[in-house]
Structure 1
Amino acid sequence: MVIRRAEERDGGRLTRLVRRSRAYEGRYSSMVEGYRVGPDYIVAHRVFVAVEELAGEEGAGGERVVGFYSLMVEPAELDLMFVSDQAQGYGIGRRLVEHMLGEARSAGIDKVRVVSHPPAEGFYRSVGARVVGRVPADPPAVRWDRPELEFVVGD
Protein backbone atom coordinates (compact mmCIF):
# COMPACT_ATOMS: atom_id res chain seq x y z
CA MET A 1 0.00 0.00 0.00
CA VAL A 2 1.16 3.51 -0.84
CA ILE A 3 -0.12 6.81 0.56
CA ARG A 4 0.11 9.61 -1.98
CA ARG A 5 -1.30 13.09 -2.46
CA ALA A 6 -4.74 12.92 -4.03
CA GLU A 7 -5.13 14.29 -7.53
CA GLU A 8 -8.16 15.98 -9.04
CA ARG A 9 -8.93 12.82 -11.02
CA ASP A 10 -9.38 10.88 -7.73
CA GLY A 11 -12.55 12.78 -6.80
CA GLY A 12 -15.00 10.27 -8.23
CA ARG A 13 -13.39 7.31 -6.49
CA LEU A 14 -13.23 9.15 -3.16
CA THR A 15 -16.87 10.21 -3.50
CA ARG A 16 -17.91 6.58 -4.13
CA LEU A 17 -15.92 5.40 -1.10
CA VAL A 18 -17.75 7.92 1.12
CA ARG A 19 -21.22 7.21 -0.25
CA ARG A 20 -20.84 3.42 -0.12
CA SER A 21 -19.46 3.23 3.41
CA ARG A 22 -21.45 0.77 5.54
CA ALA A 23 -20.71 3.01 8.54
CA TYR A 24 -23.20 5.49 7.08
CA GLU A 25 -26.08 3.13 6.44
CA GLY A 26 -29.43 3.45 8.17
CA ARG A 27 -29.84 6.37 10.52
CA TYR A 28 -26.53 7.94 9.41
CA SER A 29 -27.26 7.88 5.67
CA SER A 30 -28.30 11.56 5.56
CA MET A 31 -24.68 12.53 6.30
CA VAL A 32 -23.36 11.20 2.99
CA GLU A 33 -26.40 11.49 0.75
CA GLY A 34 -25.29 13.59 -2.17
CA TYR A 35 -21.82 14.09 -0.62
CA ARG A 36 -19.10 14.87 -3.15
CA VAL A 37 -15.32 14.98 -2.91
CA GLY A 38 -14.72 17.16 -5.93
CA PRO A 39 -11.56 18.31 -7.66
CA ASP A 40 -11.97 21.76 -6.06
CA TYR A 41 -11.92 20.18 -2.58
CA ILE A 42 -8.84 18.10 -3.44
CA VAL A 43 -6.97 21.16 -4.72
CA ALA A 44 -7.93 23.31 -1.71
CA HIS A 45 -6.98 20.84 1.05
CA ARG A 46 -4.33 18.33 2.02
CA VAL A 47 -6.04 15.18 0.77
CA PHE A 48 -4.08 11.94 0.78
CA VAL A 49 -5.17 8.62 -0.63
CA ALA A 50 -4.08 5.08 0.28
CA VAL A 51 -3.84 2.90 -2.82
CA GLU A 52 -2.93 -0.69 -3.58
CA GLU A 53 -1.17 -1.37 -6.84
CA LEU A 54 -3.05 -3.87 -8.98
CA ALA A 55 -1.19 -6.37 -11.14
CA GLY A 56 -2.18 -6.32 -14.76
CA GLU A 57 -1.03 -7.20 -18.19
CA GLU A 58 2.37 -5.73 -18.98
CA GLY A 59 2.45 -3.67 -15.79
CA ALA A 60 -0.65 -1.63 -16.62
CA GLY A 61 -2.76 -2.81 -13.71
CA GLY A 62 -3.56 0.52 -12.11
CA GLU A 63 -4.47 1.00 -8.49
CA ARG A 64 -7.34 0.51 -6.08
CA VAL A 65 -8.25 3.15 -3.51
CA VAL A 66 -8.46 1.61 -0.02
CA GLY A 67 -8.76 4.80 2.04
CA PHE A 68 -8.13 8.52 2.28
CA TYR A 69 -8.07 11.49 4.63
CA SER A 70 -8.27 15.25 4.41
CA LEU A 71 -6.34 17.53 6.75
CA MET A 72 -7.53 21.11 7.06
CA VAL A 73 -4.70 23.38 8.15
CA GLU A 74 -6.50 26.53 9.29
CA PRO A 75 -8.05 25.68 11.65
CA ALA A 76 -6.33 22.33 12.09
CA GLU A 77 -8.90 19.58 11.66
CA LEU A 78 -9.13 16.08 10.28
CA ASP A 79 -12.09 16.79 8.01
CA LEU A 80 -12.56 13.40 6.35
CA MET A 81 -11.16 9.92 6.90
CA PHE A 82 -12.49 6.77 5.27
CA VAL A 83 -11.23 3.24 4.77
CA SER A 84 -13.11 1.05 2.31
CA ASP A 85 -15.30 -1.58 3.92
CA GLN A 86 -13.26 -4.39 2.31
CA ALA A 87 -9.96 -2.98 3.61
CA GLN A 88 -10.94 -2.44 7.26
CA GLY A 89 -9.09 -4.42 9.92
CA TYR A 90 -5.71 -4.39 8.14
CA GLY A 91 -4.14 -1.34 9.80
CA ILE A 92 -4.83 1.08 6.96
CA GLY A 93 -6.68 3.55 9.19
CA ARG A 94 -3.79 3.50 11.66
CA ARG A 95 -1.30 4.18 8.84
CA LEU A 96 -3.45 7.04 7.54
CA VAL A 97 -3.52 8.61 11.02
CA GLU A 98 0.27 8.28 11.34
CA HIS A 99 0.66 9.91 7.92
CA MET A 100 -1.77 12.70 8.86
CA LEU A 101 0.17 13.40 12.06
CA GLY A 102 3.36 13.64 10.02
CA GLU A 103 1.71 16.11 7.66
CA ALA A 104 0.40 18.13 10.61
CA ARG A 105 3.88 18.19 12.15
CA SER A 106 5.45 19.41 8.90
CA ALA A 107 2.81 22.16 8.70
CA GLY A 108 3.69 23.33 12.22
CA ILE A 109 0.41 22.16 13.72
CA ASP A 110 0.45 21.09 17.38
CA LYS A 111 -3.16 19.81 17.72
CA VAL A 112 -5.64 18.37 15.24
CA ARG A 113 -9.38 18.45 15.98
CA VAL A 114 -11.68 15.60 14.91
CA VAL A 115 -15.47 15.75 14.97
CA SER A 116 -16.14 12.05 14.69
CA HIS A 117 -18.89 9.93 13.27
CA PRO A 118 -20.21 8.33 16.51
CA PRO A 119 -19.30 4.72 15.58
CA ALA A 120 -15.71 5.81 14.75
CA GLU A 121 -14.98 7.28 18.20
CA GLY A 122 -13.44 4.02 19.46
CA PHE A 123 -11.09 3.88 16.48
CA TYR A 124 -9.84 7.43 17.03
CA ARG A 125 -9.31 6.78 20.72
CA SER A 126 -7.37 3.60 19.89
CA VAL A 127 -4.93 5.59 17.74
CA GLY A 128 -4.23 8.28 20.32
CA ALA A 129 -6.98 10.89 20.08
CA ARG A 130 -8.56 12.06 23.31
CA VAL A 131 -12.15 13.15 23.79
CA VAL A 132 -12.45 16.88 24.48
CA GLY A 133 -16.20 17.36 24.13
CA ARG A 134 -19.33 16.78 22.09
CA VAL A 135 -20.71 18.67 19.12
CA PRO A 136 -24.50 19.04 19.35
CA ALA A 137 -26.81 17.81 16.62
CA ASP A 138 -27.44 20.19 13.71
CA PRO A 139 -30.62 19.01 11.96
CA PRO A 140 -31.63 18.21 9.33
CA ALA A 141 -28.38 16.66 8.03
CA VAL A 142 -26.88 15.77 11.42
CA ARG A 143 -29.52 14.61 13.85
CA TRP A 144 -27.21 13.28 16.57
CA ASP A 145 -24.47 14.59 18.83
CA ARG A 146 -20.94 13.78 17.72
CA PRO A 147 -17.80 13.22 19.77
CA GLU A 148 -15.13 15.90 19.49
CA LEU A 149 -11.60 14.54 19.82
CA GLU A 150 -8.10 15.92 19.56
CA PHE A 151 -4.75 14.55 18.46
CA VAL A 152 -1.71 16.11 20.05
CA VAL A 153 1.01 16.23 17.44
CA GLY A 154 4.35 15.15 18.91
CA ASP A 155 7.87 15.98 17.75
Structure 2
Amino acid sequence: MRFRPNPDRGDQLSKRLIAMLAGVVAIAVIAAGCGSSSSSDSTGGGEESSSSSLTKAEFIKAGDAICLESNEALEGEANEFAEENGIDIGKPTTEQQEEVVSEVVAPAIREQAEGISELGAPSGEEEEVEAIVDAVENGAEEAEEEPSSLVEAEGGGPFAEANELANAYGFKVCGE
Protein backbone atom coordinates (compact mmCIF):
# COMPACT_ATOMS: atom_id res chain seq x y z
CA MET A 1 0.00 0.00 0.00
CA ARG A 2 1.35 3.42 -0.88
CA PHE A 3 0.76 6.44 1.28
CA ARG A 4 2.03 9.95 0.88
CA PRO A 5 0.41 12.37 3.31
CA ASN A 6 -0.78 15.70 2.06
CA PRO A 7 -1.64 18.13 4.88
CA ASP A 8 -3.81 20.18 2.51
CA ARG A 9 -5.91 17.16 1.65
CA GLY A 10 -6.43 15.89 5.21
CA ASP A 11 -5.37 12.27 4.75
CA GLN A 12 -7.06 9.84 7.07
CA LEU A 13 -4.82 8.37 9.74
CA SER A 14 -7.16 5.57 10.73
CA LYS A 15 -7.42 3.94 7.33
CA ARG A 16 -4.49 4.08 4.95
CA LEU A 17 -1.56 4.75 7.29
CA ILE A 18 -2.78 2.34 9.94
CA ALA A 19 -3.37 -0.39 7.37
CA MET A 20 0.16 -0.04 6.05
CA LEU A 21 1.66 0.13 9.51
CA ALA A 22 -0.37 -2.82 10.74
CA GLY A 23 1.16 -4.98 8.06
CA VAL A 24 4.59 -3.92 9.20
CA VAL A 25 3.78 -4.72 12.82
CA ALA A 26 2.43 -8.09 11.80
CA ILE A 27 5.64 -8.90 9.97
CA ALA A 28 7.60 -7.95 13.04
CA VAL A 29 5.43 -10.11 15.24
CA ILE A 30 5.96 -13.12 13.06
CA ALA A 31 9.58 -12.58 12.16
CA ALA A 32 10.87 -11.69 15.58
CA GLY A 33 8.65 -14.26 17.20
CA CYS A 34 10.29 -17.02 15.27
CA GLY A 35 12.59 -18.13 18.03
CA SER A 36 14.80 -15.07 18.14
CA SER A 37 16.90 -14.55 21.21
CA SER A 38 17.56 -11.07 22.51
CA SER A 39 20.68 -9.21 21.58
CA SER A 40 22.55 -6.36 23.19
CA ASP A 41 23.51 -5.03 19.76
CA SER A 42 21.95 -1.58 19.51
CA THR A 43 21.51 -1.90 15.76
CA GLY A 44 19.18 -4.83 16.23
CA GLY A 45 21.45 -7.24 14.38
CA GLY A 46 23.01 -10.33 15.80
CA GLU A 47 19.76 -12.13 16.49
CA GLU A 48 19.87 -15.89 16.49
CA SER A 49 16.87 -17.95 15.48
CA SER A 50 16.15 -21.39 16.84
CA SER A 51 14.29 -24.20 15.14
CA SER A 52 10.79 -25.35 15.94
CA SER A 53 8.69 -28.33 15.07
CA LEU A 54 6.52 -26.20 12.78
CA THR A 55 6.67 -26.86 9.07
CA LYS A 56 7.09 -23.86 6.81
CA ALA A 57 3.41 -24.08 5.78
CA GLU A 58 2.28 -24.22 9.43
CA PHE A 59 4.59 -21.35 10.28
CA ILE A 60 3.19 -19.19 7.46
CA LYS A 61 -0.40 -20.07 8.40
CA ALA A 62 0.22 -19.18 12.06
CA GLY A 63 2.04 -16.02 11.04
CA ASP A 64 -0.72 -14.82 8.76
CA ALA A 65 -3.28 -15.42 11.53
CA ILE A 66 -1.20 -13.26 13.87
CA CYS A 67 -0.96 -10.59 11.18
CA LEU A 68 -4.74 -10.34 10.96
CA GLU A 69 -5.05 -10.01 14.74
CA SER A 70 -2.21 -7.49 14.92
CA ASN A 71 -3.82 -5.30 12.26
CA GLU A 72 -6.89 -4.80 14.47
CA ALA A 73 -4.83 -4.23 17.62
CA LEU A 74 -2.64 -1.58 16.00
CA GLU A 75 -5.60 0.32 14.60
CA GLY A 76 -7.14 0.41 18.07
CA GLU A 77 -3.90 1.55 19.70
CA ALA A 78 -3.37 4.29 17.12
CA ASN A 79 -6.95 5.51 17.44
CA GLU A 80 -6.66 5.53 21.24
CA PHE A 81 -3.41 7.48 21.03
CA ALA A 82 -5.01 9.95 18.63
CA GLU A 83 -7.98 10.47 20.95
CA GLU A 84 -5.78 10.90 24.03
CA ASN A 85 -3.61 13.44 22.21
CA GLY A 86 -6.31 15.43 20.45
CA ILE A 87 -5.38 14.23 16.96
CA ASP A 88 -8.19 14.51 14.41
CA ILE A 89 -7.90 11.14 12.68
CA GLY A 90 -9.78 12.55 9.70
CA LYS A 91 -7.23 15.32 9.12
CA PRO A 92 -3.97 14.58 10.92
CA THR A 93 -1.02 16.77 10.13
CA THR A 94 2.20 15.23 8.90
CA GLU A 95 3.72 15.94 12.31
CA GLN A 96 0.86 14.10 14.03
CA GLN A 97 1.28 11.11 11.72
CA GLU A 98 4.98 11.07 12.54
CA GLU A 99 4.13 11.19 16.25
CA VAL A 100 1.90 8.11 15.85
CA VAL A 101 4.75 6.30 14.08
CA SER A 102 7.33 7.11 16.75
CA GLU A 103 5.04 6.76 19.79
CA VAL A 104 2.78 3.86 18.77
CA VAL A 105 3.99 1.98 15.72
CA ALA A 106 7.73 1.54 16.28
CA PRO A 107 7.33 0.58 19.97
CA ALA A 108 4.50 -1.81 19.06
CA ILE A 109 6.74 -3.53 16.56
CA ARG A 110 9.38 -4.10 19.20
CA GLU A 111 6.93 -5.09 21.97
CA GLN A 112 4.80 -7.45 19.93
CA ALA A 113 7.86 -9.10 18.42
CA GLU A 114 9.22 -9.84 21.89
CA GLY A 115 5.86 -11.21 23.03
CA ILE A 116 5.75 -14.03 20.50
CA SER A 117 9.27 -15.38 20.94
CA GLU A 118 7.99 -18.86 21.79
CA LEU A 119 7.57 -19.68 18.08
CA GLY A 120 10.60 -21.13 16.36
CA ALA A 121 11.68 -20.96 12.75
CA PRO A 122 10.99 -24.11 10.75
CA SER A 123 14.00 -26.40 10.63
CA GLY A 124 16.38 -25.26 7.92
CA GLU A 125 14.70 -21.85 7.65
CA GLU A 126 16.63 -20.10 10.41
CA GLU A 127 18.72 -17.89 8.09
CA GLU A 128 15.70 -16.69 6.11
CA VAL A 129 13.79 -15.92 9.30
CA GLU A 130 16.82 -14.13 10.76
CA ALA A 131 17.05 -11.98 7.61
CA ILE A 132 13.40 -10.97 8.07
CA VAL A 133 14.03 -10.23 11.76
CA ASP A 134 17.05 -8.08 10.97
CA ALA A 135 15.16 -6.15 8.27
CA VAL A 136 12.23 -5.52 10.62
CA GLU A 137 14.49 -4.38 13.45
CA ASN A 138 16.43 -2.05 11.16
CA GLY A 139 13.15 -0.65 9.82
CA ALA A 140 11.76 -0.14 13.33
CA GLU A 141 14.89 1.69 14.39
CA GLU A 142 14.74 3.96 11.34
CA ALA A 143 11.00 4.61 11.78
CA GLU A 144 11.46 5.46 15.44
CA GLU A 145 14.41 7.78 14.84
CA GLU A 146 13.05 9.34 11.65
CA PRO A 147 9.27 8.76 11.45
CA SER A 148 9.00 10.80 8.26
CA SER A 149 10.82 7.92 6.54
CA LEU A 150 7.63 5.89 6.93
CA VAL A 151 4.98 8.62 6.74
CA GLU A 152 6.33 10.05 3.49
CA ALA A 153 7.42 6.75 1.97
CA GLU A 154 6.31 5.22 -1.26
CA GLY A 155 5.78 1.54 -0.55
CA GLY A 156 7.04 0.29 2.78
CA GLY A 157 9.67 2.95 3.43
CA PRO A 158 12.06 1.64 6.07
CA PHE A 159 10.18 -1.68 6.01
CA ALA A 160 10.39 -2.25 2.25
CA GLU A 161 13.08 -4.91 2.65
CA ALA A 162 11.15 -6.68 5.42
CA ASN A 163 7.99 -6.65 3.30
CA GLU A 164 9.88 -8.04 0.31
CA LEU A 165 11.48 -10.80 2.38
CA ALA A 166 8.16 -11.73 4.03
CA ASN A 167 6.44 -11.94 0.66
CA ALA A 168 9.28 -13.97 -0.82
CA TYR A 169 9.14 -16.31 2.18
CA GLY A 170 5.50 -17.04 1.36
CA PHE A 171 3.36 -15.00 3.73
CA LYS A 172 -0.06 -14.21 2.28
CA VAL A 173 -1.18 -11.52 4.77
CA CYS A 174 2.08 -10.37 6.32
CA GLY A 175 4.14 -8.10 4.12
CA GLU A 176 1.19 -6.67 2.18
TM-score, normalised on structure 1?
0.28
TM-score, normalised on structure 2?
0.26
- Higher RCO (CA-CA < 8 Å; seq separation 6+): 2
Select the structure that is richer in helix: 2
Select the structure that is richer in strand: 1
